Structure 1
């Protein structure tokens, strides 16, 4: 199967509708996200704009169609955590296993390194037993991307009338120095 070239670019709030179309099935059909209700387009626009004030929010396009997106968010709000982020990625169902996820994460890491981020964290729903709403693909993907499993919280999320474990995975992409330079906001590195 031949694919048209993959293009990765910074998201804009105007991408809210196609990104929400990718995200909505994750809310309604899976336990991958613990949101119960699909947010409306205005809320999704707000989320994109808020993220872009500090962190990368990237989309992957193939043939002019958005097929996935990735973004970073604060790992914690206290300043001692500034050099860490949580990563999130969502790929359209028909575009899974095409390499788009890997390309999105590689682009995200490039920007995060330029910002001065040193550690990435991924919070992932994990089924304790085989489950119709979630599998181990996300853990496998993050392992292939160099993340290590660092924590497993038992039965910490409740969706679809069942309890789910949540695992945290971690990847270091920079050096831990003392003193550390301040982290740059995403718009600052775009001007360089």
Structure 2
């Protein structure tokens, strides 16, 4: 396995990983799979400031992860929201751990202090969502900080949203600016 930077040329392969999450699960609250052009645009916008990485196994992309801005205010520059998707046939092979460890390293190098994850969580038993993402993030050192009840509706069911966080660097009184776009 190799961890590499994503490029816009990867849009089709990444979208093929993401599409089943939209079509078959409540992990993503999108109802429609975005077009390749829209996905390419998302990659371009996010990777202009933040790390966007992929795991490549046997020449094929097996998963990807990225960070994006947490909120659009200067005071939030040291915090990011993280996202990860693994190809369905590649789960439970350590790819998520490798991607998140690499992402955390890149974020620390930028001067990021807080990793945040917004995760769909089943309010009741569901065939479209499990607590696997919660368990993964907990294993990666994230802690639960909040739950929003019945905040997403998909497949005729209501889902909760949970927020988890991980502090990855020291919070000092005089913080240097984050080094975006590395």
- Give the TM-score range, shorter chain: over 0.9
2:47 matched to which residue of 1? 52
2:138 matched to which residue of 1? 143
SS in structure 1 opposite 2:172?
coil
Q: Given the alignment of the two structures, is residue 90 of structure 1 paired with residue 85 of structure 2, yes or no?
A: yes
Q: CA deviation at 1:113?
A: 0.1
Compute the RMSD of aligned alpha carbons: 0.6
Q: CA deviation at 1:70?
A: 0.1
Which segments of 5 or more consecutive residues in structure 2 lack a partner in the other structure?
Answer: none
Work out the number of aligned pairs and report it: 182
1:47-100 deviation per Cα after TM superposition (whole angstroms, max 9, x unaligned): 111111100000000000100000000000011100000000000000000000
Distance in 2, matches of 1:17 and 1:34, equals 20
2:113 matched to which residue of 1? 118
Distance in 1, matches of 2:181 and 2:99, equals 16
Distance in 1, matches of 2:84 and 2:134, equals 12
What are the residue-to-residue correspondences of 1:151-162 with 2, within 5 Å? 151-162=146-157
Which segments of 5 or more consecutive residues in structure 1 lack a partner in the other structure?
Answer: 1-5, 188-192
Q: Given the alignment of the two structures, is residue 166 of structure 1 paired with residue 161 of structure 2, yes or no?
A: yes
Q: Given the alignment of the two structures, is residue 177 of structure 1 paired with residue 172 of structure 2, yes or no?
A: yes
SS in structure 2 opposite 1:73?
strand
Q: CA deviation at 1:130?
A: 1.4
Distance in 2, matches of 1:35 and 1:128, equals 18
Q: What is the TM-score when the length of structure 1 is the normalising length?
A: 0.94
Of stretches 56-65 and 157-166 in structure 1, the one that deviates more from structure 2 is 157-166
Q: CA deviation at 1:8?
A: 0.4
Q: What is the TM-score when the length of structure 2 is the normalising length?
A: 0.99
Give every structure 1 segment of 4 or more consecutive aligned residues whose post-TM-superposition deviation is greater than 2 Å: none
Among 76, 94, 104, the alignment partner of 1:109 is 104
